[in-house]
Amino acid sequence: MELLRNIAYQPGSTGSNKMGDSQALGKACSGESRRKKAAEEQQHHSHAAPEISRIITDPTTGKRYCRGKVLGKGGFAKCYEMTDLTTNKVYAAKIIPHSRVAKPHQREKIDKEIELHKMLNHRHIVQFYHYFEDKENIYILLEYCSRRSMAHILKARKVLTAPEVRYYLRQIVSGLKYLHEQEILHRDLKLGNFFINDSMELKVGDFGLAARLEPLEHRRRTICGTPNYLSPEVLNKQGHGCESDIWALGCVMYTMLLGRPPFETTNLKETYRCIREARYTLPSSLLPPAKHLIASMLKNPEDRPTLDDIIQHDFFLLGFTPERLSASCCHTVPDFNLSSPAKNFFKKAAAALFGGKKEKARYLDTHNRLAKEDEEIYKLRHDLKKTSITQQSHKHRTDEENQTTNITVAKAGMVAETKQIGDSIRMIVRGTLGSCSSSSECLEDSTMGSVADTVARVLRGCLETMPEADGIPKEQLTTSFQWVTKWVDYSNKYGFGYQLSDHAVGVLFNNGAHMSLLPDKKTVHYYAELGQCSVFPASDAPEQFISQVTVLKYFSHYMEENLMDGGDLPGLTDIRRPRLYLLQWLKSDKALMMLFNDGTFQVNFYHDHTKIIICNQSEEYLLTYINEDRISTTFRLTTLLVSGCSLELKTRMEYALNMLLQRCN
């Protein structure tokens, strides 16, 4: 088990692939030189590194430790498993022979590493515990990570799935952000320096090359790091900044997804040439968001994203990220499942459903294939949604519609202007969906792009026009409409499920199809495409729909049994109105967005459970706000245009608009 692979660098050592200075860079290009150095290093180790005792005593505290197996090797040291004989606590012990750091600058390097590392305390940073020394060695006790490093995982797996990459990158960014806030540069980010503990949590480690962030004019200009992950500014001796760690992170992401670093060649000089020219390939197998994020991190230093920008990128916002990973992911492709109790529920549901041998075999075959095809499913869903949006973004625009986009309200003549604003909003609806008394009557003509475009422009027009205010409007309408009271994201396998306020249940499947179970629990509506609806009994579904109906029923049962309603807003009971079904949804780290076929737009905020719902009734846009106490208030958007609203509501409206625009652009 290897925990710390390249712990430090000493000039002339080939026990590490770190490059210490420009001289080492030149020598690294000579195979004969490397072989000679390796032979000398091996001979040096055989004479200078005596056998380390099995039982080691801290001379200061008297504590005794038992040295275990080797976890990793570096230029200065080896890393061992080491157990405290008093507490049985296991550490990763970095043991450095005094003979290896005999020169003052070598010992100074170790002392700086200890001084820097011992002050760090973060969930995603390898924890420093203690250090001591005796006559032979220096001992540094670090957090023990039983699952080895990301390098070992990738060696076994070859490539990782995008959900796994999101999972690991989030933790790397978290740890790296902490370092940068402490004004510390890691300077050697690579798979071998990301360690995984027993809970499959990632820890950034190996601070042998870490350094304090200096002002630009005083930045370090030595070449150090691992060749495949070096940034152009480091190679060109322009100094180290946070941007160099971002470059390495781009190389890390590329390597996780494709199994090799972006600039790897058979010749070191050619590798450095490729790095300086930022010359690499992005295979077509990568999804567009992944390509874009990698490319942004491998730009010139001033153009690279910040760590916050990275986490807010579409690669994270538009894709599934598991909350945790199974230890089996270290060697096999993950089989993502919902967390308990949902996980247990769906397992029991599947077991109860498939009684016959043929059906069970067919189900298991599909189940296993889905796990292996997770990326293909995500790509299909992503492409379907993006294509619908981009193809329709300009389809229905007219001169009249563009003229009504920017709505203005003068201070004088409020009553007349309010009517004009209401008329303008209604014209926007008609300009996009066609001339009809209600947008919900025109399902056949509506598209994902046109509906999203309409709602975005109405919401933007309201935000750009309404005045500042201290509270929300006093107007309180009594109305009822359909809204989402419960939801389940199971898109890693099947799709996104939700329950409406009238107790109808819908699922937007990963292939873009939508299926609804009506409130009577007997009737199913199936939409293969927008405006094309098939209706059939839930108990007698056509053969091609049986599996989807089964998933729909269990979504319904799970939400009914396990989830609570999201507020006090009454539901729509008029069954004569056309059915509502989900067009698209989006999850960010703060909220969930849902957009429906009739223009109903809902955003649920996680941290305080507040909600915003915008809907259209009789050509009048209404906004409902459900606060932290689950109390709802409904008013006309035209009222907001005149009266304004509180900062609390306005910031939520702005965030909702930004989420919607992410889907529109």
Cα distance between residue 127 and residue 248, in whole Å: 22
H helices of 517-575, in order, are 546-562
Cα distance between residue 285 and residue 162, in whole Å: 12
Please name the residue that has the structure tokens 């035209």. Answer: 638
List the catalytic residue out of 21, 58, 84, 188: 188
Structure tokens at 273: 């040439």
Known binding residue 103? Answer is: yes
| Phi–psi pair at 427, nearest 5 degrees | -65, -35
Q: Within a 10 A sphere around the Cβ of 579, how many other Cβ atoms?
A: 22
Structure tokens at 493: 């396998």
CA 122 from centroid of its chain's CA atoms = 20
How many CA atoms lie less than 13 Å away from 345 in the CB half-sphere?
19
Per DSSP, the chain holds a count of helices (H) and strands (E) of: 20, 22
Residue 376 CB contacts under 8 Å (≥ 6 apart), including other chains: none
Give the length of the chain.
665
How many CA atoms lie less than 13 Å away from 658 in the CB half-sphere?
14
Cα distance between residue 496 and residue 513, in whole Å: 11
Nearest to 583 by CA among 456, 450, 401, 442: 450
Cα distance between residue 160 and residue 286, in whole Å: 12
> By the 8 A CB rule, do 436 and 619 touch?
no
Cα distance between residue 15 and residue 37, in whole Å: 10
Cα distance between residue 455 and residue 458, in whole Å: 5
Nearest to 17 by CA among 230, 170, 184: 230
Nearest to 316 by CA among 508, 171, 449: 171
Structure tokens at 80: 């061992």
Cα distance between residue 208 and residue 110, in whole Å: 7
Residue 540 annotated as catalytic: no
Is the peptide bond prior to 341 cis by the omega test (within 30 degrees of 0)?
yes
> By the 8 A CB rule, do 317 and 376 touch?
no
Cα distance between residue 254 and residue 14, in whole Å: 26
The b/e string for 451-468 (b: 16+ C-beta within 10 A; e otherwise) is: bbbbbbbbbbbbbebbee
Cα distance between residue 311 and residue 169, in whole Å: 9
Residue 342, SS3?
helix
Angle at the Cα of 236 from the Cα atoms of 109 and 191, rounded to 5 degrees: 60
Of the chain, the end-to-end C-alpha distance in Å amounts to: 47
Residue 157 CB contacts under 8 Å (≥ 6 apart), including other chains: 329, 330, 331, 332, 333
Active site residues: 188
Annotated binding site: 103
Annotated binding site for ATP: 103
